Amino acid sequence: MSKKQTIHVLGSGLVGSLLSIILAQKGFQVELYEARPDMRRADISGGRSINLVVTDRGLNALDRAGLRDKVMEIATPMKGRMLHDIKGETTFVPYGQKDNEVINAVSRGDLNCLLMDEAEARGDINIHFEKRCTGYDIKTKMLSFNDSEHVQTDIVMGADGAFSALRKAMLDQVMNFDYAQSFLDSGYKELVIPAGENGAFLMDDASLHIWPRGQYMLIAIPNIDCSFTCTLFFPFEGEESFAALKTTEDAAAFFKKTFPDALEIIPTLAEEFANNPVGSLVTVKCNPWHVDGQALLIGDAAHAIVPFFGQGMNCGFEDCRVLDDLLSGPDADWEAVFAAFNQERKANTDAIADMAIENYTEMRATTADPKFQLKKRVGFELEKRFPDRFIPRYSMVMFHPDMPYAEAKRLSEMQNEILNQLCVNITQPEDVDWTEAERLLVRK
Ligand SMILES: Cc1cc2nc3c(=O)[nH]c(=O)nc-3n(C[C@H](O)[C@H](O)[C@H](O)COP(=O)(O)OP(=O)(O)OC[C@H]3O[C@@H](n4cnc5c(N)ncnc54)[C@H](O)[C@@H]3O)c2cc1C
């Protein structure tokens, strides 16, 4: 029997772990290099519980590794947004209108551990921890690591995240390599709402909770241990900003004024506000994602996006599904596969990057606007009445994984014009002129 070809993958995060399983299933030996210690043995969370949202695109990719059911066992489904106003009054706005139109909260750490367990259990994937890639020489196909080791590669794939070392090497060595990174002027801090005294959720657990406040917002996502992980998205500088909240007293006073109902259920606010770091929010766009048939960027390394559509990981998982489709097996023509992958994904990842930024404005500001809620309801009604002509944007991205992101963006721009026109002088969906609605839909 001929020896299996070895692929070197950088980063055993969410995308690198799933990618490795998919490559191994295709008949490759995978050597996976991870900068951090093994999170299953060392606590690298700093005691924080960070979660994220898995949606149909991510689940479709997990299907390729037979892992949908295992992931759903550790997930909490959410049916909609629960909007909290300044008085603590709540309004529920559903995400979709069919029973299966839900999104799923999952612990980032648990999901990553599950993927690494599954990868290692196969026997054809070796994970090397505390091996930070420090460079890659395109001419010699040589990887270098923090411990001064050098590894000769045939094929290397960089799933090493938003600040990828492989991407840096490409930026330095590939002619005409396009690269742009932009940071939001807001960052984020994670906080925890613990389970109640009897071990129950303190708020509705089938909702993603949002406290929209115009220039900033707080969100809370449920965990399977009945706690919630809260994230405050907040400007770095300015009158209301991380910089302005200098002491724990400042933070408590700000929460009392702005998120009073949340403050009541975050008993450790002062301690967490002081100790938890502020993260930045970056969008990265680059091109090309590959060099000859030898190196490929994937996941955040190729296209980091801001988290406001809950799609960064889902999009990275979708990368893995597309690569799975393009790879015939061990005799792959890598140059052709990488070029086709880049071609198929680039416009789509650019589209979700832009939609994610737009969704930041929607989540922090417009969700609280009655017009936003009206447009959501009219959108659902259009979908019911004209299912072949109208699917709301959120649904296209979250619940229609076969619809490319770029197509969802294109259609949603047209739909927004229609919704604006239909909702201009009305306050309830019952007042929509449905004949005019059909005329507009047919015309567009
Ligand atoms: C606040 C926040 C909330 C989010 N919520 C969601 C959500 O709800 N849904 C969603 O789909 N996405 C969400 N995302 C985005 C999501 O976290 C990322 O898109 C996803 O983690 C990308 O996976 P990745 O494997 O490409 O990169 P990463 O998860 O960053 O993994 C990269 C891995 O590579 C390792 N590494 C880095 N450098 C090196 C190196 N030089 N050598 C070796 N290893 C290296 C890292 O240690 C890490 O393990 C969120 C992001 C943020 C910031």
What would the pLDDT profile of 326-345 be if each residue is shown by its tens digit? 998 888 999 999 999 999 99
The whole-number pLDDT of residue 334 equals 97
Asked if 365 and 322 touch (Cβ cutoff 8 Å), the reply is no
Closest CA to 156 of 22, 294, 339, 25: 294
Q: How far, in Å, CA of 249 to CA of 251, rounded?
A: 5
Q: What amino acid is encoded at 146 in this protein?
A: N
What contacts 380, CB < 8 A, 6 or more positions away?
Answer: 94, 97, 392
Q: pLDDT band for 10, please (50, 70, 90 cuts).
A: very high
Atom 20 of ligand 1, nearest CA residue? 313
What would the pLDDT profile of 90-145 be if each residue is shown by its tens digit? 999 899 989 999 999 999 999 999 999 999 999 999 999 999 999 999 999 999 99
Q: pLDDT band for 376, please (50, 70, 90 cuts).
A: confident
The whole-number pLDDT of residue 15 equals 98
Q: How far, in Å, CA of 119 to CA of 57, rounded?
A: 20
Share of the chain above pLDDT 70, in %: 98
Q: Does ligand 1 lie within 6 Å of residue 161's CB atom?
A: yes
Q: Does ligand 1 lie within 6 Å of residue 385's CB atom?
A: no
Q: How far, in Å, CA of 302 to CA of 166, rounded?
A: 10
Q: Give distance in angstroms: CA of 159 to centre of ligand 1.
A: 9
Q: Does ligand 1 lie within 6 Å of residue 314's CB atom?
A: yes
Q: Does ligand 1 lie within 6 Å of residue 156's CB atom?
A: no
Mutate to test the pocket of ligand 1, among 103, 131, 313, 323 (most ligand atoms within 8 A of CB): 313
Q: Give distance in angstroms: CA of 277 to centre of ligand 1.
A: 16
Q: Does ligand 1 lie within 6 Å of residue 159's CB atom?
A: yes
Q: Does ligand 1 lie within 6 Å of residue 341's CB atom?
A: no
Q: pLDDT band for 4, please (50, 70, 90 cuts).
A: very high
Q: pLDDT band for 47, please (50, 70, 90 cuts).
A: low
Q: Does ligand 1 lie within 6 Å of residue 392's CB atom?
A: no
Q: Does ligand 1 lie within 6 Å of residue 396's CB atom?
A: no
pLDDT at residue 274 above 60?
A: yes
Share of the chain above pLDDT 90, in %: 89
pLDDT at residue 325 above 60?
A: yes
Q: How far, in Å, CA of 95 to CA of 79, rounded?
A: 6
Mean predicted confidence (pLDDT) in 213-226: 95
Q: Give distance in angstroms: CA of 408 to centre of ligand 1.
A: 24
Q: pLDDT band for 1, please (50, 70, 90 cuts).
A: low
Q: Give distance in angstroms: CA of 19 to centre of ligand 1.
A: 13
Q: Does ligand 1 lie within 6 Å of residue 188's CB atom?
A: yes
